[in-house]
Amino acid sequence: MNHAALAEDFIKDKPRAKWHDETLWFVRSKRDKAASALPEWETLRECAAQIKAHTVANLAHYLEQFESQATKRGAVVHWAKDAAEHNQIVLSLLQSRGARRLVKSKSMLTEECHLNPFLERNGIEVVDTDLGEWIVQLAGEPPSHIVLPAIHKKKEDVGRIFHEHLGTDEGATDPNYLAEAARGKLREKFVQADAGLTGVNFAIAETGGIVVCTNEGNADLGVSLPALHIASMGIEKLLPRAEDLGVFLRLLARSATGQPITSYTSHFHGPRPGAELHIVLVDNGRSDILGSEEFRRSLSCIRCGACMNTCPVYRRSGGHSYQTSVPGPIGSILAPSRDPKTYASLPSACSLCGSCTDVCPVKIDIHHQLLTWRRELNVLGLLPRSKRWGMQGMSYVFRHPRLYQWAGKLARLIVPRLPRFLLYNRFNAWGRQRELPEFPRQSFREQYEARRHEQQK
C-alpha cells in the first residue's frame, strides 16, 4: 500500500476533505477544553505513563495474576498467539454452544484479527452494534477511526445506507430520525442474539475483571441478554490494580471526545448467574514489540484516538488511507511493527510536528518513534528509491561545505529565473499544492559575513 497515493484519492473531493479536517479539529478542541479543566492533567499523564511502564516490565506476572483471579471469579481465560488462533477460539465457543447470531461492541482487536469475515464464512451472523461501526459494516467498509468509525461519512451517506438496508425514507438526513431507525433494528438484534462479544478497554490483574467503555450502552445490552459473553483483549490492556483505573478513566474519554467520562463504564467480574464469560488474551506480535527498546512504549496506547484527531496528515487524508485497523500516528508505528514491508509508507505520513506526542494521554513519544521507523526502514532497504537517492544526495552535499555553498549560490541564481513548467511538474510532488518560497538574494552565511564586515569598519 502507498499512503500518499490513497490520500490523493481522498483529497480529490476538496469540500469533503475540508469538512473531514474541520470535524476532527472540532473533536480535538473539545479534548483541549476537557483537559484544561483539570489542573492535574499533566500529573495524570505522567502517572499513566509510569503505570504502563511498570505493567509492561512485569507483564508475565500480571497476566498470570489476572488469569488466576479471573478464573476464581468463574471466567474462562483463553490464550491466542495470533489472529488465526483468536478467531478459531471464538468460532469454537460459538459453534459448541450452537450460537449462530453474534452481537459485537467495538473492538479494534477483532478488526486487527479480521474476525468478522472469518465468522461469516463459517455461517455466523455478525452485527457490529456500535452505531458508527454498524454504519460502516452496512457500507461494506472498515472503520476509518478507532473511536469514531464512521467519521468519514456525512449524514447524506448514512441516509442512503439506511434507506438501502433499513428502508428509511429516501433522502432522509436527520440524525435523530436515522439513529431512531437504527435503535429499532439493533434492539431487535440484541434480543435475538445467541452471544455477545466485547473488546476490553482495561483489565485488572488484582481483581481478574475487565472494563468496557461505551456511550451507547451497546456492550452492556449485548452481553446481558444472551448466555455467552466473549471478551477479546490484547495482552497490553492489563493494569495492576483497581486504583489505577482512577487515573486512566479520567484520561480516556477526555482525550477521546472531550467527555468527562463515557456514559457507561462497565466492570465485569465473572459471568452473571446462569451465563458464561470467556476472556481471550491475544498476543499477535505484541510480545515482539515488547522487546524493542525503541517501540515498546507504543504498547501503552489506550486507543483514545487523540493523536488522530490532532494529526494534520490524518485529518487531511482520512483513516482509510492508512489501510490498517488502527490508523493515524499510533497506527503508523504499530502497523510496520507487524509488517514493515507492506506499511513502509506510513511513518512518512507525518510532518514530525509532534502534536500527537503532546496530546497523548499516556505520553507515548509518537513522533520520535515515527522518525525512528524511517531510519529502520532505510536500514531494511524498504524506502522507495526516490527517497533513498534523494537522501544520499543530500547527505553528500551536507558533508561537503564548499559544495553546499556552491549549490546554494547556484540555486539562488537559477531557480528564480526558471520557467514555471520546469519547477511545477509531476516530478515535484511538493509543488503540487504549494508555491515555492521566494528565494533570498543572499544566504545566511553571506548576510552574516556582510554584517560582520560592516561592524568591523
Partner 1 sequence: MSSRNSILKSIRAQLLPAAERPDLNRDWLRYPDPWAQFQTQLAGVGGQAVRVANMEEVTASLALRPEFVAAKEIVSTVPGIAGNIDLESVQDPHALETTEWAILPAQFAVAENGAVWVTDQCVKHRVIYFLTQHLVLVLPAGEIVHNMHEAYARVTLGESSLGLFMSGPSKTADIEQSLVIGAHGPRSLTVFCVGD
Q: Which positions from 206 through 225 interact with partner 1, judged by CB under 8 A?
A: 207-209, 215-218, 220-221, 224-225
* Nearest to partner 1 of 111, 220 (CB atom): 220
Closest CB 158 distance from partner 1, rounded Å: 5
The total of other beta-carbon atoms located within 10 Å of residue 371's CB is 14
Residue 279 or residue 350: which is nearer to partner 1 going by CB?
Answer: 279
Please report whether residue 359 would count as binding partner 1 according to CB under 8 A.
Answer: no
Least Å distance between CB 339 and partner 1? Answer: 18
The amino acid sitting at 188 is E
| Cell numbers placing 51 | 503505570
- Is 422 in contact with 416 (CB distance < 8 Å)? no
Nearer to partner 1 (CB atom), residue 276 or residue 346 = 276
In contact, 329 and 318? CB cutoff 8 Å: no
Give 275 or 371: the residue with its C-beta nearer to partner 1.
275
- Give the 3-state secondary structure of residue 281: strand
**How far is it, in rounded angstroms, from Cα 403 to Cα 457?**
30
**Choice between 13 and 64, CB closer to partner 1:** 64
Q: Which of residues 297-356 bind partner 1 (CB under 8 A)?
A: none
Rounded to a whole number of angstroms, the minimum distance from the CB of residue 24 to partner 1 is: 9
- Region near partner 1 per CB under 8 A, out of 200-208, 306-314, 415-423, 426-434: 200-208
- Minimum Å gap between C-beta 283 and partner 1 is 5
Q: Which of 33, 183, 341, 375 binds partner 1 (CB under 8 A)?
A: 183
Contacts 24+ apart (CB under 8 A), 17-21: 17/316, 17/318, 19/154, 20/151, 20/152, 20/315, 20/316, 20/318, 21/315, 21/316
Per-residue binding letters, 251-270, with partner 1 (x by CB under 8 A):
------x-xxxxxxxxxxxx
Q: Which of residues 373-432 bind partner 1 (CB under 8 A)?
A: none
Q: Give alpha helix (H) positions in 352-400.
A: 355-359, 366-379, 385-399
Q: Which candidate, 392, 160, 375, 50, places its Cα nearest to that of 150?
A: 160
Residues numbered 269 to 288 that lie near partner 1 (CB under 8 A) are: 269-273, 281, 283, 287-288
The backbone region for 418, taken as left when phi is positive above 0, alpha when psi lies in -120 to 50, beta otherwise, is: beta
In Å, how far are 222, 399, 400, 406, 410 from 403, measured between CA atoms? Answer: 68, 9, 5, 5, 10
DSSP label at residue 75: -
**Do 178 and 151 meet the contact criterion of CB atoms below 8 Å apart?**
no
- Contact map string, positions 53 to 82, toward partner 1, x by CB under 8 A: xx-xx-xx--xx--------x-----xxx-
**What ranges make up the beta strands (E) of 63-170?**
76-80, 101-104, 125-128
**Nearer to partner 1 (CB atom), residue 9 or residue 40:** 40
DSSP conformation class of 65 = H
Minimum separation from the CB atom of position 91 to partner 1 (A) = 16
Which residue in 92, 88, 105, 109 sits closest to 193, CA to CA? Answer: 105
- Is 221 or 366 the residue whose CB approaches partner 1 more closely? 221
Say whether 151 sits in a helix, a strand or coil: coil
Please identify, among the stretches 176-184, 392-400, 429-437, 447-455, the one whose residues bind partner 1 according to the rule CB under 8 A. 176-184
Side chain identity, residue 422: L
Complex with partner 1: residue 66 or 118, whichever CB lies closer: 66
**Is 102 or 158 the residue whose CB approaches partner 1 more closely?**
158
Closer of 179 and 371 to partner 1 (Cβ): 179
Q: Which residue has the cell 481465560?
A: 77
Cα separation, 212 vs 130, whole angstroms? 13
Pick out residues in 89-148 that bind partner 1 (CB under 8 A).
129-132, 135, 148
In the complex, what is the shortest distance from the CB of residue 331 to partner 1, in angstroms, rounded to a whole number? 20
Among 4, 68, 84, 155, binds partner 1 (CB under 8 A): 155
Q: Please choose, from the candidates 39, 3, 79, the residue with its C-alpha nearest in 3D space to the C-alpha of residue 374.
A: 3
- What distance in Å separates the CA atoms of residue 265 and residue 220, rounded to the nearest whole number? 10
Among 247, 308, 311, 360, the residue binding partner 1 under the rule CB under 8 A is 247
- Beta strand 264-268 with 228-234 is unpaired
Query: How many positions of this chain bind partner 1 (CB under 8 A)?
Result: 93
At closest approach, how far in Å is the CB of 379 from partner 1? Answer: 21
Shorter beta-carbon distance to partner 1: residue 3 or 297: 297
DSSP code per residue over 39-62: TTHHHHHHHHHHHHHHHHHTHHHH
Interface residue with partner 1, options 1, 11, 17, 242 (CB under 8 A): 242
**Binding region for partner 1 (CB under 8 A) out of 164-172, 201-209, 338-346, 358-366:** 201-209
Report in angstroms how near the CB of residue 278 gets to partner 1 at its nearest.
14
